[in-house]
Structure 1
Amino acid sequence: MTATIDSPRSGKNSSGKISPQYRRTGASRGNFEMFAWLFMRLSGVVLVVLIFGHLFVNLLVGEGIHAIDFGFVAGKWADPFWQIWDLAMLWLAMLHGTNGVRTIINDYAEKDSTRLWLKIVLYAATTVIIVLGTLVIFTFNPCPVVDGVPLPGGFCPA
């Protein structure tokens, strides 16, 4: 009795069935995966700088964690530098995480339709969070006035 072993790249597993990753249809996406891989490395390095800068300013400078309140955020976001800093952190973190989850979906979702719907939900959630986060950063008003009456806060000028 002779046993034959399939070539490792033949797409067949030990039971003779074709592995799911070899059944997928669709043309090659060119260099997209290479750019996605490169984006993960570069955005990870930039995120480390952004996050440690964020933590340093919020937790170590001044009174530390005891100073963080609505007024602290309002004062920080009054400066365009910190708006751009937080915006970059939001966008990079969301896109970095989305790319990672996209990779996980590609690795573990076997059916094309499942993969499609999971990615639709992922991209929709990412878009909503990025749009809402961007709106919050740029439209934040620490001293809102409703119907001509300033809302109480104790930190807004009268």
Structure 2
Amino acid sequence: MTSTIVAPRSPYSRSPRKNGVNWEKWGWIYMRVSGVVLIVLIFGHLFVNLMVGEGVSALNFAFVAGKLSNPFWQWWDVAMLWLALIHGGNGMRTLVNDYATTRISRGILKSSILAAVVILIVLGTLVVFTFDACPAGQPADLLPTFCQAV
């Protein structure tokens, strides 16, 4: 049984450039490389969170706070965040290029994707690097129980 894939409906096409950077080629390469790196990062993340130590029963606020206090895990999570968001945004950009029918709709959709990716990267990075499970000067009844000794 054979199946056919319908051609994209977009009349959008680019004439090949003779000079300059081929961004489509580099986007394609990025998708392949980031996909492989993401597999390693995600399965490493899952293994440490679910298999090492007490397993899934140990996952709670204290576990996450302990991980986010370690610079290694901060950078691991930020790398996973950045690669996943840029990978997903680039995939969505490709879909918009293939299926958006007008130049204006392509511009609006790609600008929206870029804005969403940038905002999520900035907010996620801020959360990872500024997270403090035991902020100073807070009432004791609002802090987690493991902060009482501090």
Give TM-score scaled by structure 1 length: 0.81
- Aligned residue in 2 for 1:105: 96
Normalized per residue, which structure has more helix? 2
Is the alpha carbon distance of 1:83 and 1:20 closer, same or farther for their aligned partners in structure 2, counting shifts above 3 Å? Answer: closer
- Runs of 4+ in structure 1 deviating by more than 2 angstroms, as ranges, are 19-22, 24-30, 148-152
1:78-157 matches, within 5 Å, as 78-146=69-137, 149-150=139-140, 151-156=142-147, 157=149
User: What letter is aligned with 1:129?
Assistant: L
- Aligned residue in 2 for 1:3: none
Does structure 1 residue 54 correspond to structure 2 residue 54?
no
Indicate which of 70, 74, 93 corresponds to 2:61.
Answer: 70
Based on CA coordinates, which of the two structures has the bigger radius of gyration?
A: 1
Indicate which of 31, 44, 50 corresponds to 1:40.
Answer: 31
Cα deviation code 1:98-154 (max 9, x no counterpart): 0000000000001000000001111111111000000000000010234x5343210
Unaligned runs of 5+ in 1: 1-18
Shift of 1:20: 4.4
User: What letter is aligned with 1:128?
Assistant: I
Report sequence identity in percent. Answer: 54
CA RMSD of aligned residues (A): 1.9
Larger RCO, structures 1/2 (Cα 8 Å, 6+ apart): 2
Unaligned runs of 5+ in 2: 1-8
SS at the partner of 2:11? helix
Give TM-score scaled by structure 2 length: 0.85
Q: May I ask how many residue pairs the two structures share in their alignment?
A: 138
Distance across 2 between alignment mates of 1:128 and 1:26: 32
